[in-house]
Chains A and B, each alone.
Chain A
Amino acid sequence: MTSSYTQEKNDLPPSNGLAIINSKAPFSSNHGKDALDVALIFGSFEQKVSLFFQGDGVYQLIANQDARLVSIKDYLKTFSAFEFYDIEDIYVCQQSLVNRQLEEKFHIGDVQVLSSIEFGLALNRHQHVLRF
């Protein structure tokens, strides 16, 4: 408790925005697409949105994927529109990448890879959280 409070005070200001946690792989369910839709809707109403990728959700960011091979509309390409919606805070859990033997090679830029502790701290700065 003490350390997270100190972190808030010294490092970054507390945020009141929305945090969206992505925890599912991209192609076998609609969760990723739904999370994207929510993020862009909040973005277009100029609401502050941060995206968190954890567990199998990290697969959504990996480079060189091609949804067309499995006959799915490639919603991952829309991720490159985040900057136009002022979605700038994109966090990835480093431990989730390591567990899955994934390199830090993503199909969008400005992705911040955080350790488990930093990831938790970043999430806890948000007042509202949605998990997909």
Chain B
Amino acid sequence: MSTLHLVRQSAFATNDFAQCLSVLDHQDSIVLMDDGCYNLKHSLMDSLIKRVDGTLSINVITRHAQARAIEISAAVQHIEMSDVVELTFNHTKVITWQ
């Protein structure tokens, strides 16, 4: 039972991302999209990256980050919108945090 988490809000404005991390399981995946891309620079992200044990994958939609002038980070995977379709099939459920 794995979950795909679609994070669409800035953690600087809402606590959606914090709530997402509190229910996160080790086999889940996270996709940062829209304003969720801003979370790459949030302190929650630093602690998440330290927590990652290899099974959890963190992804960001490249164009959404580029549009916001957010630096490409090596700690996360860069994907396209079309890759999200595949991710939805690889997980049993999807939660959208918005």
**Could you tell me which A residues sit within 8 Å of B by CB distance?**
24-28, 55-56, 59, 62-70, 72, 99-102
Question: What CA separation (Å) do A37 and B12 show in the bound complex?
Answer: 25
B12 touches A56 (CB 8 A): yes
Tell which of B20-28, B51-59, B60-68, B83-91 binds the partner: B60-68
B69 touches A55 (CB 8 A): no
Among candidates A56, A66, A99, residue contacting B67 with C-beta atoms closer than 8 Å:
A66
Interface residues in B21-61 by Cβ distance below 8 A to A read 34-35, 38, 41-42
Contact residues in A for B64 (Cβ distance below 8 Å): 69-70
Interface 0/1 of B1-35, CB less than 8 Å to A: 00000001010110000000000000000000011
A101 touches B41 (CB 8 A): yes
- Interface size class on chain B is 10 to 19
A59 touches B38 (CB 8 A): yes
Question: What CA separation (Å) do A100 and B42 show in the bound complex?
Answer: 7
Contact residues in B for A27 (Cβ distance below 8 Å): 34-35, 67-68
A28 touches B35 (CB 8 A): yes
Question: What CA separation (Å) do A26 and B34 show in the bound complex?
Answer: 11
